[in-house]
Amino acid sequence: MTPEISLIIMAYNEEKSLAAVFNELRAALKELKRPFEIVIINDGSTDSTGRTADSLADNENVRVIHHKGNQGLGAVYRTGFKEAKGDFITFFPADGQFSAGILKKYAEYTKTHDVILGFIPDRKSSVIAKCLSAFERVLLWMLFGPIPRFQGIIMFRRGLLETVKLKSSGRGWTILMELIIRLKKSGQKMITLPIGLRPRAYGHSKVNNIPCIIDNIRQIFILRLNM
């Protein structure tokens, strides 16, 4: 049976949280009573994340894909785009910061919208990171015009990937922003919903830091040249 939802779990050195996140997301998907698949993408982890992922693949409708070496968030999204089989695709990090309850909230809009986006109303980060993030949003507006606010979790119709030609090749989330920008310009029906962010139980963020934000800004300029 073709799944209605493909959920991609993005994992890089998350050996302590992956299994719990997987179980939480799988339980939430079962509550939706819609066919689903879970695809765990291990982005070249150097801890036991890969082995944990393989052990979870014993479950029904679960696949694991291992990247050879750490290729970055952008590569994880591109792999997810390629491998997903469901009518709708969504991505969750394996760090457990996003509640599985988001799935129920998003699923309610899949019959009326093509793209469902989340944003975090009050994200706690350093002053420098907040300033760089604000500059990043202003830069996007200046270069691409008004686009939906987005932070965190997206769910969209997989068929839309066939309607756009994505060019971003960076390690960061630029590939996802390109997708949102192109779908917005093509008139797809979108909605943006507020979502929460939980504290990490283990480890530290690999993306919400100054080097990643600076790299994203650099990739934004490259994206503008490719539009």
Ranges of each domain in the chain: 5-226
Distances (CA, A) of 87 to 35, 40, 164, 174: 10, 18, 17, 23
Global pTM value: 0.87
Question: For residue range 60-80, what is the model confidence (pLDDT) as tens digits?
Answer: 799 999 999 999 999 999 999
- Which residues make beta-bridge pairs with 39? 8, 63
* Residue 191 near residue 109 (C-beta atoms within 8 A): yes
Residue with tokens 């990643």: 212
Tokens standing for 92? Answer: 């969750």
Given a cut of 90, whether residue 58 has pLDDT beyond it is no
Sign of the dihedral defined by the CA atoms of residues 108, 18, 71, 134, in that order: positive
Given a cut of 60, whether residue 186 has pLDDT beyond it is yes
Taking residues 136-148, report their average pLDDT.
Answer: 75
pLDDT given for residue 57 in this prediction: 92
Taking residues 96-117, report their average pLDDT.
Answer: 96
* Residue 29 near residue 2 (C-beta atoms within 8 A): no
- Which residues make beta-bridge pairs with 193? 118
Q: Helix, strand or coil for residue 70? A: coil
Given a cut of 60, whether residue 208 has pLDDT beyond it is no
pLDDT given for residue 142 in this prediction: 75
Given a cut of 60, whether residue 209 has pLDDT beyond it is no
pLDDT given for residue 42 in this prediction: 98
Taking residues 48-59, report their average pLDDT.
Answer: 93
Question: For residue range 37-53, what is the model confidence (pLDDT) as tens digits?
Answer: 999 999 999 999 999 99
- pLDDT-derived band at 183, boundaries 50, 70, 90: very high
Q: Please give the residue that has the higher pLDDT: either 171 or 139.
A: 171
Architecture, CATH, for domain 5-226: Alpha-Beta Complex (3.90)
Residue 58 main-chain phi, psi, to 5 deg: -70, -15
- pLDDT-derived band at 151, boundaries 50, 70, 90: confident
Q: Which of 224, 214, 198 is nearest to 141 (CA)?
A: 224
pLDDT given for residue 132 in this prediction: 67
Q: CA-to-CA distance for 158 and 38, rounded, in angstroms?
A: 15
User: What's the chain's average pLDDT?
Assistant: 88
Q: Please give the residue that has the higher pLDDT: either 206 or 6.
A: 6
Other Cβ atoms less than 10 A from the Cβ of 82: the count is 9
- pLDDT-derived band at 149, boundaries 50, 70, 90: confident
Taking residues 104-108, report their average pLDDT.
Answer: 96
Taking only Cα atoms into account, the Rg of the chain, rounded to an integer number of angstroms, comes to: 17
Q: Please give the residue that has the higher pLDDT: either 42 or 173.
A: 42
pLDDT given for residue 204 in this prediction: 63
Residue 46 main-chain phi, psi, to 5 deg: -105, 0
Tokens standing for 107? Answer: 């699923």
Helix (H) or strand (E) holding 161: none
Percent of the chain at pLDDT exceeding 90: 64
